[in-house]
Structures are given as structure tokens and as C-alpha cells.
């Protein structure tokens, strides 16, 4: 399947969907604290999406080939859970780190983004991992411009993660997005610069590195969705949906509560 180049009208609709996804994360941020269940976070987000935004939570009943339908409206991945954690009875404890992954559908277009949150005060190691992962996402994004290669994104992320003693999960990657939840291209978070498809203005895809404090190896839990680290080490992930432009990139999932670009990505990739 070829990579879609979005029209000006499609891009505008993707801007709306992306902003709305970011606003769900803004909404849920004050609720992520010790004592709340991941199921309650899901309920709050679902009600906000359905009743306030009038958006559709894309994960709910999503069933790609080989998977049973996903049963919730968001993903909540805690501590050593890498991705696709199913919200439920788990109560967040002091020091837990949690990725909240949101995808909304608005007027037929998807907006996809995730952030790391702390339940109370995290450990030094946990905060370091979350910071490094955030930097990885941004360093990958800063390599995006028309004419560059998909491999440039992964190479930049891998170099930064491994340079700080962390590992990159190989089995999951970023993806094209638009009318469909997952489109071409696949955006690997490791690899060699100068390889892969050339980027063109109008492409839209996610950059969403999953970085482990320990080894890269993962396994799937019996629920058929939740992915965890094999060595039980902490894992973190950040995600933005990004538009390739003639002059560089535009992040489509920004909102009032979006964290600013870290200083290190400006230093390493140059101020744009």
C-alpha cells in the first residue's frame, strides 16, 4: 500500500482531530494520581470524548487482524507495561509512571497522541527514563523534512536512547494515520540514516518511541493486548502525530497542556 499524501482539506481536518486528542490528555492530567484506578481514567476520558468533544474513541472495539476487539477507550500502560495496557481495576500507587494513549476520531479523521504521567513523585530512574524518551521523540521529530528519509527518524532516536544506556522496543513503531487508524508508512524507532522512503510534504504519521530502562525484549500478556518488558524493567513512551512540510514539520497533536520541546533536541538538531 502506498503512502498517502494528504490534501489541504484533509490536513485541516487532521489538525482538528490532533488538537482534540491532545485536549483529552490535558483533561485527564489532574486525575492521574495515587489512588485512582486505570478504569476510572478510562471512564473519565470516554465521557469527555463522547459527551464534551463529540468525538469517537478509536481504540474501543478496535480489532486488527489476529486480535480480539480492544475493550476500552484509552490505553494505560503502567511502569513495566510497554504499550496497549487495558484499563481496569489497577489502582495507581505513589511513584507509578503511566502512559496514557489517546486516539480520537472527528469527522472521519484520527488524532493520535500519548504522554507519560507521574502518580505522585517518581523515582530518579523513572523520571530519567521518561525524560530520555521525551527527548527521543523530539529528536526524531526534528529530523523530519521533505526530502529526508524515514530511516533518519529511527537512527536519531536509537542513537540518543542507546547513548543513555536505554533500549528501543523493535516490535512496535509509528505509523501513517488519517481516515484510517493505521496507514503506511511504518515509522521505525531504530535503524540507519539515509535508508527507507523519502519524506514528502503532505505525509502524516506518528512518532512514538517506546524506550526501556533495561533490555529491549518484550512479551504479551494473556489478555492478548498488554505488552510488558521481559526483564520487568521500566518502559516509557511519548507520541505525537506529525505532518511533513516543505520547510520541516508541523506537530498536529499540540494543545494547551503540551510540554514544550526539550533543550537537548534544539541543541542536537538545530533550532527550527
Give me the residue spans of the domains in the chain.
8-269
What pTM value is reported for the model?
A: 0.96
Structure confidence by residue, pLDDT tens digits, 147-158? 999 999 999 999
What the block records as the C-alpha cell of 252 is 498536529
Distance CA 220, CA 97 (A): 19
Structure confidence by residue, pLDDT tens digits, 61-105? 999 999 999 999 999 999 999 999 999 999 999 999 999 999 999
pLDDT value of residue 241? 98
Q: How much is the average pLDDT of 197-223?
A: 98
Band of residue 268 on the pLDDT scale cut at 50, 70, 90 = low
Band of residue 213 on the pLDDT scale cut at 50, 70, 90 = very high
CATH number of the domain at 8-269, out of 3.90.105.10, 3.30.590.10, 3.10.180.10, 3.90.230.10?
3.90.230.10
pLDDT value of residue 270? 45
Q: How much is the average pLDDT of 106-127?
A: 98
Beta bridge partners of 103: 112
Band of residue 171 on the pLDDT scale cut at 50, 70, 90 = very high
Its sign, for the CA torsion 253, 258, 261, 262, is negative
pLDDT at 271 over 50: no
C-beta atoms surrounding 185 within 10 Å: 19
Structure confidence by residue, pLDDT tens digits, 235-261? 999 999 999 999 999 999 999 999 999
pLDDT at 226 over 50: yes
pLDDT at 272 over 50: no
pLDDT value of residue 117? 98
Rounded-to-10 torsion of CA 171, 236, 80, 226: -50
pLDDT at 13 over 70: yes
pLDDT at 6 over 90: yes
In which region does residue 67 sit, left (phi positive, over 0), alpha (psi from -120 to 50) or beta (all else)?
A: beta
CA-closest candidate to residue 216, choices 226, 204, 230, 201: 230
Band of residue 266 on the pLDDT scale cut at 50, 70, 90 = confident
Amino acid at each position: 500500500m502506498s503512502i498517502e499524501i494528504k490534501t489541504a482539506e484533509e490536513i485541516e481536518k487532521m489538525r482538528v482531530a490532533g488538537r482534540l486528542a491532545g485536549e483529552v490528555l490535558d483533561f485527564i492530567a489532574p486525575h492521574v494520581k495515587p489512588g485512582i484506578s486505570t478504569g476510572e481514567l478510562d471512564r473519565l476520558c470516554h465521557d469527555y470524548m463522547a459527551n464534551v468533544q463529540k468525538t469517537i474513541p478509536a481504540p474501543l472495539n478496535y480489532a486488527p487482524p489476529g486480535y480480539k476487539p480492544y475493550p476500552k477507550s484509552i490505553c494505560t500502560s503502567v511502569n513495566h507495561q510497554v504499550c496497549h495496557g487495558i484499563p481496569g481495576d489497577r489502582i495507581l500507587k505513589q511513584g507509578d509512571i503511566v502512559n496514557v494513549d489517546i486516539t480520537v476520531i472527528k469527522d472521519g479523521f484520527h488524532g493520535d497522541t500519548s504522554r507519560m504521567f507521574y502518580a505522585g513523585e517518581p523515582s530518579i530512574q523513572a523520571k530519567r527514563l521518561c525524560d530520555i524518551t521525551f527527548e527521543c521523540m523530539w529528536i526524531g521529530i526534528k529530523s523530519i523534512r521533505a526530502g529526508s528519509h524515514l530511516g533518519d527518524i529511527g537512527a536519531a532516536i536509537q542513537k540518543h536512547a542507546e547513548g543513555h544506556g536505554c533500549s528501543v522496543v523493535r516490535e512496535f513503531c509509528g505509523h501513517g494515520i488519517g481516515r484510517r487508524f493505521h496507514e503506511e508508512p511504518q515509522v521505525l524507532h531504530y535503524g540507519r540514516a539515509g535508508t527507507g522512503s523519502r519524506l514528502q510534504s503532505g505525509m502524516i504519521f506518528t512518532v512514538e518511541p517506546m524506550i526501556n530502562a533495561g533490555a529491549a525484549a518484550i512479551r504479551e500478556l494473556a489478555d492478548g493486548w498488554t505488552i510488558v518488558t521481559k526483564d520487568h524493567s521500566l518502559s516509557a513512551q511519548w507520541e505525537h502525530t506529525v505532518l511533513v512540510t516543505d520547510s520541516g514539520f508541523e506537530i498536529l497533536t499540540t494543545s494547551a497542556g503540551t510540554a514544550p520541546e526539550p533543550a537537548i533536541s534544539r541543541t542536537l538538531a538545530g533550532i527550527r
